Amino acid sequence: MYPFPHAIAPALKSHIDAQTAFLNDMSKSLFASFQQMCDLNIQLVQTMLEETTLASKQVLSADRQSELLSAAASRTQPTADKLRAYQQHIARLAADAQVELARVAEQHVQNTARTARALADEVARDATEQTERGLRAQEETVRQFVDPFVRGGNGAAQPQGASQQHMPPGAQPPAGQGGHQRSATTH
């Protein structure tokens, strides 16, 4: 019913196992990088909330307008430094993630390529065997095919040459069996 065999070939199983290991390690690396990025974002939000709270306290406690401006100006430089540090952390995380993904890929590429090659060889070998079996079946069908005009005495089709029984060389077949007979009369 299904075009696939019920038994899983060992080459297919090993290739699927290699692919699964590769994808699992890639997923772990990506998840670790994503987790580090989320931790960095949470840390940035906490830092920005603390900076905003300090700036708000200074602004609210200012009595004069000049104190208000100096409080706002004093908070811009630390905020800019923190954003610059955040960008550096992001760049470092991206570089580390790229290195980790390259390491995982390098670790698994040879095994995955080897199992893929083995699977391709097995598929090619199975296809060749199937083709040879199909050709043999067709040849057998052609061999069993009989010329419909050659019939034996009982009306059943017989291979050509089977209607002539084993006769010694030079002997004439009995009359009525399709042998070439010469007429005795000459004109």
**H or E stretch covering 99:** helix 65-144
Residue 132: helix, strand or coil by DSSP? helix
In a 13 Å sphere around the CA of 27, the CA atoms on its Cβ side amount to 6
**Structural domain of residue 134, as residue ranges?**
10-144
Residue 64: helix, strand or coil by DSSP? coil
What is the structure's pLDDT at 132?
92
Identify whether 83 is part of a domain. yes
What is the structure's pLDDT at 141?
83
- Residues 24 and 12: their CA atoms lie apart, in Å, by 18
What is the structure's pLDDT at 170?
54
Identify whether 86 is part of a domain. yes
What is the structure's pLDDT at 86?
92
Identify whether 100 is part of a domain. yes
CA dihedral over 81, 87, 93, 98, signed as positive or negative: negative
CA distances from 61 to 48, 52, 57, 66, 182 (A): 20, 14, 6, 12, 140
**This prediction's pTM:** 0.56
What is the structure's pLDDT at 174?
53
What is the structure's pLDDT at 180?
47
- The tens place of each residue's pLDDT in the chain, 187 residues long, gives 456 555 677 888 888 899 999 999 999 999 999 999 999 999 999 988 988 888 888 878 877 877 777 877 777 788 888 889 999 999 999 999 999 999 999 998 888 888 889 888 888 888 899 999 999 988 888 877 755 554 455 555 455 544 444 455 555 555 544 444 444 455 4
- Residues 113 and 96: their CA atoms lie apart, in Å, by 25
Identify whether 49 is part of a domain. yes
Count of domains in the chain? 1
Identify whether 178 is part of a domain. no
- Residues 40 and 86: their CA atoms lie apart, in Å, by 8
C-alpha closest to that of 105 among 10, 30, 16, 13:
30
